[in-house]
């Protein structure tokens, strides 16, 4: 694998850290800005909204830019957004800073995935995507805990300052190691670029991502109360278990990429099927013992992130090379939509039937994604467009 993929992973690490770091800082932010914790929680929703809007809009607006210049420009916006968060005087300013930062998220991962596949042989493309996304899994394993620790000891503003510093380092690595001349399709008219939105395989692929990954966050969003109230773990046990999830996600991400190199559809059947089974097992795993709960959360991290590279590859395959960048960016937005959908479904189930009921709902969401894999195969069987040959 070329070293430039590690440069893309460095950028992914910074962006992943800034997305999730706010979850560990809600109390400090709410106290400092004199807002409620639920209001502080909307900073997470605001970021997700920015990703959903920014992914297609920025991707289309910058479609003629050289890809290295675009990646560097996105990192500059990322740094500016985190610096603005450091000096935000109130909630509105912090929300604006978070939205500004989020605009880079979808386009960076979308364009980065296309760049990653262009740097390797065809039979290594899924592994290349997985290597870039390893920066995101390392953010959950190292970046978010480190940022939370900084926020607890030195204030939440210093946590965002640390993320901005990570962005500066990532910018330097991208500038040094990403080739100046990257393979890039000839610019196409905006109408032709938007024509991929009429692709049935694209929407089926996006649906797989929304529902398939939505099941993960239906359960994982509430893993802390599950561990503390059902398993009766203390703070240290919860922290260690969350680290194990991060370690599992790093392993699963790479494993999913290697599996997808051997066949994307086969990888989707295996990973989504395994994810449904693991989510169902959550109904019992948290109530047995702390050791079993730790092993379960580790397994959840593995199977959850093993789905990422196959999902990304499936969407990119569904539109062909002409619309791959837009499709790739839209799929990043779909991941965030799935996160929001899963968290909402989990919250509704908890309010109605209690904590353990979310295992059933989570598995049901992912099962919908599995059904859409079958629907995409039927579409591919009847599709005559050139892009369908890859399906």
- Label residue 390 by pLDDT band (50, 70, 90): very low
Is residue 383 scored above 60 in pLDDT?
A: no
Is residue 389 scored above 50 in pLDDT?
A: no
Annotate 29-74 with DSSP letters as a single string: HHHHHT--HHHHHHHHHHHHHHHHHHHHHHHHHTTTS-HHHHHHHH
Which DSSP state fits 185? P
pLDDT digits (tens, 9 = 90+) for 147-192: 878 887 888 999 999 999 999 999 999 898 888 776 555 556 666 6
Per-residue pLDDT, 189: 64
**Alpha-carbon gap, residue 110 to 119, rounded angstroms:** 15
Which DSSP state fits 23? G
Instruction: Of 102, 91, 101, give the one whose Cα is nearest residue 156.
Output: 91
- Label residue 384 by pLDDT band (50, 70, 90): very low
Is residue 388 scored above 60 in pLDDT?
A: no
Contact 308, 256 (CB under 8 A): yes
Per-residue pLDDT, 172: 92
Q: Write the CA distances from 290 to 227, 253, 281, 358, 383, integer angstroms.
A: 8, 25, 15, 19, 50
Per-residue pLDDT, 277: 95
pLDDT higher at 277 or 132: 277
Q: What is the mean pLDDT of residues 303-330?
A: 79
Q: Chain centroid to CA 262: how far?
A: 23
**Alpha-carbon gap, residue 65 to 114, rounded angstroms:** 14
Per-residue pLDDT, 391: 46
- Label residue 386 by pLDDT band (50, 70, 90): very low
Residues in the chain: 391
Is residue 387 scored above 60 in pLDDT?
A: no
Q: Write the CA distances from 332 to 33, 66, 169, 340, 382, integer angstroms.
A: 31, 21, 23, 13, 27
Per-residue pLDDT, 334: 87
Q: Chain centroid to CA 113: how far?
A: 12
Q: Residue 296: helix, strand or coil by DSSP?
A: helix
Per-residue pLDDT, 323: 67
**Alpha-carbon gap, residue 327 to 313, rounded angstroms:** 10
Q: What percent of the chain has pLDDT over 90?
A: 25
Which DSSP state fits 187? P
Is residue 345 scored above 70 in pLDDT?
A: yes
**Structural domains in the chain, sorted by start:** 1-184 (1.20.1250.20), 190-391 (1.20.1250.20)
Per-residue pLDDT, 325: 73
Per-residue pLDDT, 90: 94
Lowest mean per-residue pLDDT among 183-197, 285-299, 316-330: 183-197
Average pLDDT, the chain: 83
**Alpha-carbon gap, residue 84 to 320, rounded angstroms:** 38
Q: Residue 369: helix, strand or coil by DSSP?
A: helix
pLDDT digits (tens, 9 = 90+) for 232-265: 888 778 778 888 888 898 899 888 888 888 888 8
Q: What is the mean pLDDT of residues 348-376?
A: 87
Per-residue pLDDT, 322: 62
**Alpha-carbon gap, residue 310 to 334, rounded angstroms:** 14
Place of tokens 């290295």: 68
In this prediction the pTM is 0.76
Per-residue pLDDT, 190: 66
pLDDT digits (tens, 9 = 90+) for 31-66: 899 988 667 777 877 888 888 888 888 888 887 888
Spell out the alpha helix ranges (H) of the chain: 3-20, 26-33, 37-61, 67-86, 91-118, 125-138, 144-154, 156-177, 190-194, 200-220, 223-225, 235-261, 264-285, 290-305, 308-317, 324-353, 358-382
Backbone dihedral angles phi then psi of residue 385, each to the nearest 5 degrees? -70, 150
pLDDT digits (tens, 9 = 90+) for 59-112: 888 878 888 888 999 999 999 999 999 999 999 999 999 999 988 888 888 888
Contact 111, 65 (CB under 8 A): no
């Amino acid at each position: 694998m070329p070293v430039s993929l590690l440069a893309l992973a460095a950028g992914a690490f910074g962006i992943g850290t800034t997305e999730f770091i706010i979850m560990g800082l809600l109390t400090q932010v709410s106290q400092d800005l004199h807002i409620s914790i639920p209001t502080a929680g909307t900073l997470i929703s605001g970021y997700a909204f920015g990703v959903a809007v920014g992914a297609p809009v920025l991707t289309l607006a910058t479609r003629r830019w050289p890809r290295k210049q675009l990646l560097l420009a996105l990192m500059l916006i990322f740094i500016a957004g985190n610096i603005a968060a450091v000096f935000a005087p109130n909630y509105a300013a912090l929300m604006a800073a978070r939205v500004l930062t989020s605009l880079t998220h979808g386009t960076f991962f979308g364009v980065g995935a296309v760049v990653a596949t262009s740097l390797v042989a065809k039979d290594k493309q899924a592994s290349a995507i997985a290597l870039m996304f390893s920066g995101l899994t390392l953010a959950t394993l190292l970046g978010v805990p480190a940022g939370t620790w900084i926020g607890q000891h030195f204030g939440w503003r210093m946590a965002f300052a640390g993320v901005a510093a990570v962005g500066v380092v990532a910018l330097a690595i991208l500038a040094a190691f990403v080739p100046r001349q990257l393979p890039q399709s000839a610019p196409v008219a905006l109408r032709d670029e938007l024509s991929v939105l009429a692709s049935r395989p694209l929407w089926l692929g996006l649906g797989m991502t929304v529902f398939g990954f939505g099941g993960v966050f239906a359960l994982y969003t509430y893993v802390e109360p599950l561990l503390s109230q059902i398993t009766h773990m203390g703070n240290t046990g919860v922290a260690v278990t969350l680290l194990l999830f991060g370690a599992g996600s790093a392993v699963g991400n790479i494993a999913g990429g290697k599996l997808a190199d051997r066949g994307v559809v086969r990888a989707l059947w295996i990973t989504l099927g395994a994810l449904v089974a693991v989510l169902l097992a959550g109904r019992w795993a948290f109530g047995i013992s702390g050791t079993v709960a730790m092993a379960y959360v580790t397994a959840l991290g593995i199977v959850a992130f093993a789905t990422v590279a196959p999902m990304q590859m499936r969407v990119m395959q569904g539109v062909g090379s002409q619309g791959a960048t837009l499709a790739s960016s839209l799929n990043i937005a779909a991941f965030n939509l799935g996160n929001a959908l899963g968290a909402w479904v989990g919250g509704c189930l908890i309010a109605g039937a209690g904590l353990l009921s979310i295992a059933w709902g989570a598995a049901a969401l992912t099962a919908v994604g599995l059904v859409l894999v079958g629907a995409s195969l039927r579409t591919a069987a009847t599709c005559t467009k050139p892009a369908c040959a890859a399906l």
